[in-house]
A = this chain, B = another copy of it.
Amino acid sequence: MNKLAVNLPGLHLKNPIMPASGCFGFGREYSEFYDLSKLGAIMMKAATAEMRFGNGTPRVAETTAGMLNAIGLQNPGVKEIIENEVPFLANFDTNIIANIAGSTIEEYEMVAKMFNETNDVHALELNISCPNVKEGGIQFGTDPKMAAKVTSVVKEASNLPVYVKLSPNVPDITRMAKAVEEAGADGLSMINTLTGMQIDLRSKRPLLANKTGGLSGPAIKPVAIRMIYEVKQHVSIPIIGMGGVNTAEDVLEFLLAGASAVAVGTANFANPFVCSEIIDELPETLKKYGFDTALDAVGKAVME
């Protein structure tokens, strides 16, 4: 028996580790470092209906134990992704999760439909929480009604399981989680980035061309853990956790807080092998803290 295996709606994961959306492109670059078949799944970079150029540069800034990004959802558009990127990833023995962003509900719907028609995508991740675009994105992620609406429309439009990616920029994440659960979400993905800013002392202006950016990395891990722990107590759909994961011990902390699987984002930049290394270390880490399987750890901190 594979002690790392986790089954989630639509996803038979050989292990609970996957690169987070936007931090791994469409896998090509990292496939030169290791065999992507090793991964539980791959979350592709956000897809929109049309190609998007994204924001001006600079698009990233380093912060203490974190980074800001304002890529602005640059992507070649869903059609191109389905034609050129999905087939490449389909060569690997792993699950493909398509991340969808949109400015309108219709855009989410249209992109979801298109992914639904491919046979290679295993699940959808609805990015209703991107802080780096002018319209759409984050509005959907801070208003429970909008979030529920986009969820149910996408559920109607496709047969694929839908994971809704929540924004941490809200006072009550549980409300958002419940709203999308009721609207039919199969799972949650949390957290996206916290909105932040850095000011360049030399130019005296915000460093990022977009001014604000999304904060990711170890700095936000305590916020992610808190939100997952809170949400876990109130929903019954599974959670894919993320936010500052760097090590197998971080993964265990997410599992204990209630995540059933864990995505690694920013850490890929400093160490392109990080997902692979975590997968190697996880069995020993689980054992060290008294767990036989990954599943055994899920939600342990929540149950009293």
A residues sitting closer than 8 Å to B (CB atoms) are 63-66, 68, 142, 167, 169-172, 194-199, 201-202, 204-206, 211-213, 215, 218-223, 225-226, 229, 244, 249, 252-253, 256-257, 289, 300-301
Contacts and interface: CB of A to CB of B under 8 A. Distances in A.
27 contacts: A64-B219, A65-B218, A66-B219, A66-B222, A68-B222, A142-B172, A167-B171, A169-B171, A194-B194, A194-B222, A194-B223, A196-B225, A197-B226, A197-B229, A197-B257, A199-B256, A199-B257, A199-B301, A201-B249, A201-B256, A201-B289, A204-B289, A204-B300, A205-B301, A206-B301, A211-B229, A215-B223
Contacts of A68: 222
Nearest to A290: B204
A204 B66 contact: no
Given A244-B64, A289-B204, A199 B225 contact: yes
A206 to B, nearest CB: 6
Contacts of A169: 171
B196 A223 contact: yes
Contacts of A244: 64
A283 to B, nearest CB: 15
Given A199-B225, A225-B198, A257-B197, A301 B204 contact: yes
Nearest to A288: B201
Contacts of A197: 222, 225-226, 229, 257
Q: Pick the most buried of A65, A204, A229: most chain B CB atoms within 10 A of its CB.
A: A204
Given A65-B65, A171-B171, A206 B229 contact: yes
B63 A222 contact: yes
B289 A219 contact: no
The interface centre, meaning the residue of A196, A211, A219, A289 with most chain B CB atoms within 10 A of its CB, is: A219
A281 to B, nearest CB: 14
A198 B220 CA distance: 11
